[in-house]
Amino acid sequence: MIAVIKPEATEQQIEGLVSWFQARGLKTHLSEGEFQTIIGLIGDTSKVDVDLVEGLDIVESVKRISEPFKSANRKFHPRDTVIEIGGYKIGGGNFQVIAGPCSVESPDQIISVAESVKASGAALLRGGAFKPRTSPYAFQGLRSEGIELLLEAKARTGMPIVTEIMNAVHLPLFEHVDVIQVGARNMQNFELLKELGQVKKPILLKRGYANTLQELLMSAEYIMAEGNKDIILCERGIRTFETYTRNTLDLSAVPVLRDLTHLPVIIDPSHAIGVSRYVKSLALAAVACGADGLIIEVHNDPQNAACDGAQSLTPEQFADLAEGIRRIRKVIETL
Ligand code: PEP
Ligand code: MN
């Protein structure tokens, strides 16, 4: 980290600032130019409050040289993290598709969707039991019964299951869940993230719709700092001024996160675009740009879905998409 000092700062003020940094365990390197003095900070600057330093009277600007995330940082862990879930690997060249309904609605619904997406090649089954809905009057999910139905579908098909947690008090219900999802709305629920850091299960961490990639990585860092290193990052669309689509898919997240972190990165085209007829284009683009996987909403009867029917593919549309994914993967393997 570098602090650029204002030209009018006195020697005494600069010395005071140097001691302030040193009291925080940092080594300092003073560089006095003809017009400008710069203080270089050496050591772990992750605990330094940049805004606080920038607000000091004698400081002109502050620049971080190293990123504030450590465990998630590729610099300290150059090799891709590969996460194994019920025999399926994701990351480091291993690609997986997670598919299923937005929410679990009934035994017939979840089992029929599970069987059809499995037949088309999906590895993992998704389904919401605890649903984060904008309106308190909208369907809130079947809650614990929803998790039981997912476990039934898992027993029937052998598919590992992914479902969202909204409150750490529900953790005991997730004992047999394979991957715990943190939804966009909870990406910065730091107390929840800390609890999930103590869990020995992979976490699917979705990017908040108004969060930067650095904030996403800092949220991963919260989980990793507590000991859980198995995190799958998910870009699911961010909020922009566009209204034809539910959100705007930020595909640039894939190559940028690939550079910044060793964690697997998947794309959720369903929530990104919100319109089923556009899901295939985005999904194929995500595969082409190097995502480690996809999470896709599929419903046996989208018109009557309790949640997110407009963006849900039918099992037949999903089968067609799965074929497209296979073909794009073949092409990119040759690049
Ligand atoms: C979901 O996956 O069902 C969901 C609610 O997603 P998001 O948190 O991305 O909105
Ligand atoms: Mn949904």
Rg (CA), the chain: 23
User: Atom of ligand 1 at shortest distance to CA of 207?
Assistant: 9
Query: Which residues of the chain fall below pLDDT 50?
Result: none
Which residue from 99, 26, 30 is spatially nearest to 266, judged by alpha carbons? 99
Closest protein CA for atom 3 of ligand 1: 102
Closest protein CA for atom 4 of ligand 1: 183
Q: Please tell me the distance between residue 207's alpha carbon and the centre of ligand 1 in angstroms.
A: 10
Residue that is written with structure tokens 């870009």 in the block: 235
Structure tokens at 213: 């990639």
Phi, psi of 164 (to 5 degrees): -85, 140
Quick count: other Cβ atoms within 10 Å of Cβ 32? 11
Q: In three state form, how does the secondary structure of the chain look?
A: CEEEECCCCCHHHHHHHHHHHHCCCCEEEEEECCCCEEEEEECCHHHCCHHHHHCCCCEEEEECCCCCCCCCEHHHCCCCCCEEECCEEEECCECEEEEECCECCCHHHHHHHHHHHHHCCCCEEECECCCCCCCCCCCCCCCHHHHHHHHHHHHHHCCCEEEECCCHHHHHHHCCCCEEEECHHHCCCHHHHHHHCCCCCCEEEECCCCCCHHHHHHHHHHHHHCCCCCEEEEECCECCCCCCCCCECCCCHHHHHHHHECCCEEECHHHHHCCHHHHHHHHHHHHHCCCCEEEEEECCCHHHCCCCHHHCECHHHHHHHHHHHHHHHHHHHCC
Supply the pLDDT for residue 133. Answer: 97
Q: Please tell me the distance between residue 316's alpha carbon and the centre of ligand 1 in angstroms.
A: 23
Query: Which residues form the pocket of ligand 1, taking CB atoms under 6 Å from any ligand atom?
Result: 102, 128, 132, 183-185, 206, 236, 268, 271
Supply the pLDDT for residue 166. Answer: 98
Q: Report the residue count for the chain.
A: 335
Supply the pLDDT for residue 326. Answer: 98
Measure the CA angle with vertex 308, ends 302 and 310; round to 5°: 60
Predicted structure pTM score? 0.92
**Ligand 1 pocket: which of 124, 239, 268 to mutate (most atoms <8 Å of CB)?**
268
User: Atom of ligand 1 at shortest distance to CA of 234?
Assistant: 9
Whether 304 contacts 331, CB under 8 Å: no
Q: Please tell me the distance between residue 91's alpha carbon and the centre of ligand 1 in angstroms.
A: 21
Q: What ligand is nearest to the CA atom of residue 297?
A: 2
Using CA atoms, how far residue 248 sits from 55, 184, 209, 260, 310, in Å, is 34, 14, 9, 22, 16
Q: Please tell me the distance between residue 329's alpha carbon and the centre of ligand 2 in angstroms.
A: 26
User: Atom of ligand 1 at shortest distance to CA of 131?
Assistant: 5
Supply the pLDDT for residue 48. Answer: 87
Whether 261 contacts 232, CB under 8 Å: no
Burial of 74 (0-12, 13-18, 19+ CB in 10 A): middle
Quick count: other Cβ atoms within 10 Å of Cβ 174? 21
Supply the pLDDT for residue 47. Answer: 82
Question: What's the pLDDT tens digit per position in 268-282?
Answer: 999 999 999 999 999
Residue that is written with structure tokens 């805004």 in the block: 51
Q: Please tell me the distance between residue 43's alpha carbon and the centre of ligand 2 in angstroms.
A: 43
Whether 103 contacts 175, CB under 8 Å: no
